[in-house]
Amino acid sequence: MQLQCVTMTAPIEAEPASEEKSLKVNARHSPAASLPDDATLTPQSLSPHTKSPSHAPFSDLQSSQSGHVAELQSPRMEPTDSQGWETRSPTPAKHEESTTKHELVTSETELEPSKRQRLDGPEEPTETEAYEELRRGAFQALQSIEQDFAKLRERLYHERLAEIEKEVVAISTGKHPRYSLAMADIDSRRKKQMEQVSEWRRHKNIDIHRQVQSSLRSAHATFLAKRAELRRSVMDSIMNQKQKLTDEMMLFNSTAPTLPSESILKHRRERTLQENKDTLGISTTVGFPISMKPSGYEEAETESDVRMIQQTETNEKSKLSYII
């Protein structure tokens, strides 16, 4: 915490040399004897422009000011290492002028008779000493006022430090009003955000659940469609095999003669004609190949040929009956 030291100076009005006056003060109206204890000098009494019979000449004021220039500066308190403050030398504040003005008003009324006598002769040393003593008393009063103000600043400084320490303790314990308001605001915002997040999470869970249910329904529908397709394909293959078995069974059980189809007969005729052409070509060019000693079939071969012919005829008849 920084304290600003106010420098206070007592205004001194300059008086032209042409307005200097030689005034005398009567010994019977001495300031030390006639002024009260609380009477002090004011800037108005020091100014030559004020038309008052109790004012001293400017030469006296100038000599007294040069002798007591050190007394115009009042001490200023500043912090040091050993003590809280040290004494410096600022000048009085402006608000102290009102005090000095009020104190010197009484001195003007008492110095009116002495001014007339100072015009007649030189001033006496006793009156000058009393006047200087009065000035010293006034400046001592100003110094005491400045010291009081320095003490006041120090007290305010310590009070402010105490308030800051109290605020620190209140903040650390959580009893500070602004801290409690800020924490309440933070808690309300946190609760609001938590509610929003929980609501968003609930909607997100509902959305995910719906997506999962939709995926399950789609997978189940695909499973049912594929299963039905597989069932139809299996049933079709089974029915085809069953139909083939039924046809073979009917063909096996039928006894009617069967005839070859037209295409088979056509191929058979073409093959026969080709064989005949080959035989005729061989017979015309080379001759029919006949062994030197031809021998007939054996009896077993003949019987097997007959049996084969009978079996072929039986099969053809059964096929024909099935077709009819």
Q: Give residue-wise pLDDT tens across range 87-111.
A: 444 444 444 455 555 565 555 555 5
Judgement on whether residues 59 and 112 belong to the same structural domain of the protein = yes
How far apart (Å, rounded) are the C-alpha atoms in residues 162 and 173?
A: 16
Judgement on whether residues 92 and 213 belong to the same structural domain of the protein = no
Judgement on whether residues 106 and 43 belong to the same structural domain of the protein = yes
Domain range enclosing 122:
17-173
Judgement on whether residues 207 and 319 belong to the same structural domain of the protein = no
Q: What mean pLDDT is predicted for residues 173-201?
A: 91
Look at residue 292 in the predicted model and tell me its pLDDT.
64
Mean pLDDT of the chain: 69
Look at residue 47 in the predicted model and tell me its pLDDT.
44
Residue pair 156/84 in contact by the 8 Å Cβ criterion: no
Cα distances from 33 to residues 94, 140, 289, in angstroms, run: 30, 19, 195
Asked whether residue 80 is domain-assigned, the answer is yes
How far apart (Å, rounded) are the C-alpha atoms in residues 10 and 145?
A: 13
Judgement on whether residues 161 and 52 belong to the same structural domain of the protein = yes
Judgement on whether residues 42 and 59 belong to the same structural domain of the protein = yes
Asked whether residue 321 is domain-assigned, the answer is yes
pTM comes to 0.28
Judgement on whether residues 78 and 132 belong to the same structural domain of the protein = yes
Asked whether residue 296 is domain-assigned, the answer is no
For 297, the 3-state DSSP assignment is coil
How far apart (Å, rounded) are the C-alpha atoms in residues 61 and 47?
A: 9
Residue 155 bridge partners (DSSP): none
Residue pair 5/88 in contact by the 8 Å Cβ criterion: yes
Look at residue 309 in the predicted model and tell me its pLDDT.
80
Judgement on whether residues 156 and 26 belong to the same structural domain of the protein = yes
Q: What mean pLDDT is predicted for residues 5-10?
A: 42
More reliable by pLDDT, 98 or 22: 98
For 26, the 3-state DSSP assignment is coil
pLDDT class of 186 with cuts at 50, 70, 90 = very high
pLDDT class of 301 with cuts at 50, 70, 90 = confident
Out of 126, 142, 173, a domain closes at 173
Look at residue 300 in the predicted model and tell me its pLDDT.
82
Cα distances from 191 to residues 6, 114, 180, 313, in angstroms, run: 52, 87, 16, 103
Cα distances from 39 to residues 42, 135, 289, in angstroms, run: 10, 10, 184
Amino acid, res. 96: E
Cα distances from 318 to residues 65, 91, 242, 308, in angstroms, run: 166, 152, 22, 16
Asked whether residue 268 is domain-assigned, the answer is yes
Where helices occur in the chain by DSSP H, the ranges are 31-34, 43-46, 58-67, 97-110, 112-118, 125-173, 177-253, 262-285, 299-323
Judgement on whether residues 31 and 165 belong to the same structural domain of the protein = yes
Judgement on whether residues 40 and 142 belong to the same structural domain of the protein = yes
Look at residue 205 in the predicted model and tell me its pLDDT.
95
Judgement on whether residues 224 and 274 belong to the same structural domain of the protein = no
**In this structure, what token pair is assigned to residue 176?**
């500070």
Asked whether residue 217 is domain-assigned, the answer is yes
Judgement on whether residues 28 and 87 belong to the same structural domain of the protein = yes
pLDDT class of 199 with cuts at 50, 70, 90 = very high
For 87, the 3-state DSSP assignment is strand
Please give the tally of structural domains in the chain: 3
Residues in the chain: 324
Q: What mean pLDDT is predicted for residues 128-149?
A: 90
For 78, the 3-state DSSP assignment is strand
Which of 123-127, 128-132, 225-229, 266-270 shows the highest mean pLDDT? 225-229
